[in-house]
Chains A and B, each alone.
Chain A
Amino acid sequence: MSVTVRTFDAVIVGAGGAGLRAAIQLSESGFKTAVLTKVFPTRSHTVAAQGGVAASLGNSEEDHWHWHMYDTVKGSDWLGDQDAIEFMCRKANECVIELEHYGMPFDRTDAGKIYQRPFGGHMSNFGEKPVRRSCAAADRTGHAMLHAMYQRNVKANTQFFVEWMALDLVRDAEGEVLGVTAMDMETGEIVVFHAKATIFATGGAGRIFHSSTNAFINTGDGLGMAARAGIPLEDMEFWQFHPTGVAGAGVLITEGVRGEGGILRNGQGERFMERYAPNAKDLASRDVVSRAMVTEINEGRGCGPNKDFVLLDITHLEPATIMKRLPGIREIAIQFAGVDPIKEPIPVVPTCHYQMGGIPTNYHGQVVVPQGDAKAAVVPGFYAAGECACASVHGANRLGTNSLLDLLVFGKSAGETAVEELKKSAKAHKPLPQGEIDRALARVNRLDTQTTGADVHETRIAMQRAMQNHCGVFRFADKLKEGVGKILEVEQQVRNTVIRDKSKVFNTARVEALELENLIEVAVATMISAEARKESRGAHVRDDATDTPEHPDGRDDAHWLKHTLWYKEGNRLDYKPVTLTPLSVDTIALKKRAY
């Protein structure tokens, strides 16, 4: 079948923070750039980010990129690549100031500088005491960031394709990426975007879990497309869980609630955090609190008829304090938990929040894969940035405010590298391989013709439950093994889904079925990578890898200080070493991660 081909210098999939930042770089260099997005750019999930973006500007107190680097390496539980981490922390100030020049309305100090506040895990002087490093625009940081960058792109003549869904990568026999196939949701038409540079900035896949703080749009499309094109996914076992998502809904209750005196209680009304973290109690770090909550639930001390959540209690706070210092929390509790937190505690569970792994890249934003003896050979023409990519700066655990920084720094870096490569490249585009285009057409064609099969909604729920029950906050060897079997069963179901609505024009059922085909790739990668990693590290915690003198916190550097690479074909796993050598400073030596 012949399809329309549109030709660009660069095609960027995704118009969140990472995609918009990369597009600025290309368009302002005069390259013809297309940005594809499923939703209007300023409705991308980056809008949800409130906490801020990290940069060691030192506006409120002394700070240094080297201290930021130390915190990030430690936060990553030493799985982050130290070259990429140094690069990100050194570039942070430049990128944040650039954003200010784009018109980002940062909060200001009396002296007119960007105001900075403290955020968990960010310290001064190599872990000594908390430092003010987060730059925010009220509680709308992500939103303001997208608006500023969108305007800048409009000025630079970036061509936006809104409500277009990319379906698959186009990769030729030499492995070079030549663009994507994509569907115009308005008409159902499938078009090839032929480009010399293809940048993925499709965001995370947090919807693989039943309980998630992520909006419905986070379906991991970029990861699915990469996996189907033979690109491995890196470190997919590492997912950050936020301790307080509203039970059943997932909506995030900010850490600020515990900061204002909120207390976690089990089914017996006990303030259980006193047993797990006698000093920090309810304010201990995210992973510590999440694990304590799951232990309470697993040992039968949860709340509710199924004893499957705990309670976040603020009933002892003055109503005026709640209204003034925790705006919006009451509305969230009423709307999603059906309780007024002034009178009753809020049911909460640890909830999937952030994907540390993704498409493997180097710090130039280029996608890299093992090839022959090389563990990180560049895939020509292919770049990735933001939550869909794994540079890897977050390693086994991300620090808050570092992901907005990640998308600024690596969005820009991917754009810059693409510009350099485009300047060097031949005038003509390489010919398109028809077989690759047919791959996407076949997937859509199956949905258009299949008349019986599995329900999309039910299959998605089955996947989410399998992930939640078998690969959650706390992981057990037998549950993981069982989980692998379960998720592979669900994968078969996904191959056999059916949609009733066969119309071409604005068919959301078809979009959701295609999204599920991406989610399942991520779910399978996660379960298989997690089952295989026999240690505990950062966000990956197994009950059979516990704290011993030889392996503090269950971390086993002798065997597992390495990145996982999962390949779709045959569910094969490979590993590659962690880069421990930074660009200019000494290695931050391995030690136990303690706060």
Chain B
Amino acid sequence: MDEQRRARRERLRWHCRRALLELDIVFERFWRSAGELSEDDEVVLADLLAMEDHELWYLVSGQTETDDPRAKGMVERLRQA
């Protein structure tokens, strides 16, 4: 992985440090099992990580759904994590 890509991935990882323990645990499990992330995956994940903690938790725990077709796959992966 080139340095730029690595740095981008690491930044994403850091943005998974959240204010809610619920999300910390989901993301910890996600990274353990994530396997390869495509560049598109990284963009989608970055968008999700820009959400407020409570909104993101509602989404990941299935209390709300996303309208964004691109995000659905990633949300599903987080739910399975």
Give me the interface of A with B, judged by CB distance under 8 Å: 38-39, 42-48, 140, 143, 163, 185-186, 212-217, 249-252, 327-328, 331-332, 334-336, 503, 505-508, 511
Contact = CB atoms under 8 A, between A and B. Distances in A.
B21 A46 contact: no
Contact of B14 (A42, A250, A331, A506): A506
Given A163-B14, A216-B24, A506 B52 contact: no
A43 B10 contact: no
A163 B24 CA distance: 17
B67 interface: no
30 contacts: A42-B52, A43-B17, A43-B53, A47-B20, A48-B19, A48-B20, A48-B21, A143-B54, A163-B14, A185-B14, A186-B11, A215-B17, A215-B20, A215-B21, A216-B17, A216-B21, A217-B17, A249-B25, A250-B21, A251-B22, A251-B25, A252-B21, A331-B62, A335-B26, A335-B61, A506-B7, A506-B14, A508-B13, A508-B14, A511-B14
The 10 A-B pairs of least Cβ separation, nearest first, read A47-B19, A331-B61, A506-B10, A505-B7, A216-B24, A215-B21, A43-B19, A506-B7, A506-B11, A508-B13
B38 interface: no
Main secondary structure of the interface of A (DSSP, over half): loop
A46 B14 CA distance: 18
B51 to A, nearest CB: 11
A306 B66 CA distance: 40
A213 B22 CA distance: 9
Main secondary structure of the interface of B (DSSP, over half): helix
Contacts of B52: 42, 143
A214 B28 CA distance: 15
Given A43-B53, A143-B53, A143-B54, A508 B21 contact: no
Contacts of A39: 14, 17, 19
A506 B8 CA distance: 8
A215 B62 contact: no
Nearest to A47: B19
Contacts of A42: 19, 52
A335 B22 contact: yes
Nearest to B60: A335
A240 B70 CA distance: 43
A39 to B, nearest CB: 6
Give the interface residue-count category, chain B.
20 to 34
A201 to B, nearest CB: 15
A136 to B, nearest CB: 14
Contacts of A327: 63
Given A249-B25, A503-B6, A505-B3, A43 B14 contact: no
Interface string B1-44: 00100110011011001111110111010000000000000000
A215 B3 contact: no
A45 B24 CA distance: 12
A328 to B, nearest CB: 7
A293 B49 CA distance: 37
Nearest to A212: B21
A335 B53 CA distance: 16
B18 A215 contact: yes
A212 B14 CA distance: 20
A507 B10 contact: yes
Contacts of B28: 216
